[in-house]
């Protein structure tokens, strides 16, 4: 797992680095295969989702206990992806720029993920998922790859500290 994370980190920095983007054959590969997956702001030179993923993973692991960090990152990666896909293909009811169906799917998947981290009490996990998916739903200026794990991890840490 650590090796895979290291590879993702290295690739994200390589792909985001301005000097590397000036090398034509890399730019052509990047444009052909990755641009369709990127937001307009990412194509125009802002940080990509992969870079935000690295930054949020680093901060989350640094400031939260490991079990909470792992679960908060699972919410960000799996629940957020499911919410986006379900919202895109099955979403009918809009809430801001997202859909109710996508958010609900993200919550359901996130709750099912809590069994992968059994050291977090079930209700704390549910609070974390609902918080994370609520943050994803809101039209915040902050990238959701950063806001979801930090807010859901913070809420779970506070809830476990004071409620358990």
**Same domain? 130 vs 68:** yes
Residue 121 maps to a domain = yes
User: Residue 2's pLDDT band (boundaries 50, 70, 90)?
Assistant: low
Render pLDDT for 87-96 as a digit per residue (tens, 0 to 9).
999 999 999 9
Q: What is the pLDDT of residues 135-158, one digit of tens each?
A: 999 998 888 999 999 999 999 999
pLDDT at 18 over 60: no
The answer on 142 and 72 residing in a single domain is yes
Domain shared by 67 and 141, yes or no: yes
Residues 42, 68: one domain?
no
High-pLDDT (> 90) share of the chain, %: 60
The domain tally of the chain equals: 2
In a domain, 55, yes or no: no
Is there a single domain that holds both residue 84 and residue 10? no
Q: Read off the pTM.
A: 0.77
Residue numbers of the domain that contains 41: 2-46
Task: From 81, 62, 60, select the one nearest 71 (Cα to Cα).
Answer: 60
Instruction: Please give the Cα distance from 54 to 9 (Å, whole number).
Output: 6
């Amino acid at each position: 797992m650590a090796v895979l994370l290291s590879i993702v980190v290295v690739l994200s920095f390589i792909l985001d680095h301005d000097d590397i983007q000036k090398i034509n054959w890399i730019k052509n590969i990047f444009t052909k295969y990755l641009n369709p997956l990127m937001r307009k702001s990412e194509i125009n030179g802002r940080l990509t989702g992969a870079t935000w993923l690295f930054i949020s993973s680093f901060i989350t692991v640094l400031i939260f206990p490991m079990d909470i960090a792992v679960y908060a990152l699972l919410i960000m990666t799996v629940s957020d992806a499911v919410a986006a896909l379900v919202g895109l293909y099955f979403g009918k009811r809009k809430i801001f720029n997202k859909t109710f169906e996508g958010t609900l799917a993200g919550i359901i998947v996130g709750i099912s993920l809590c069994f992968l981290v059994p050291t977090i009490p079930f209700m704390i996990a549910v609070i974390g998922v609902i918080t994370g998916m609520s943050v994803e739903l809101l039209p915040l200026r902050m990238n959701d790859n950063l806001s979801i794990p930090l807010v859901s991890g913070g809420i779970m840490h506070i809830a476990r500290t004071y409620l358990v």
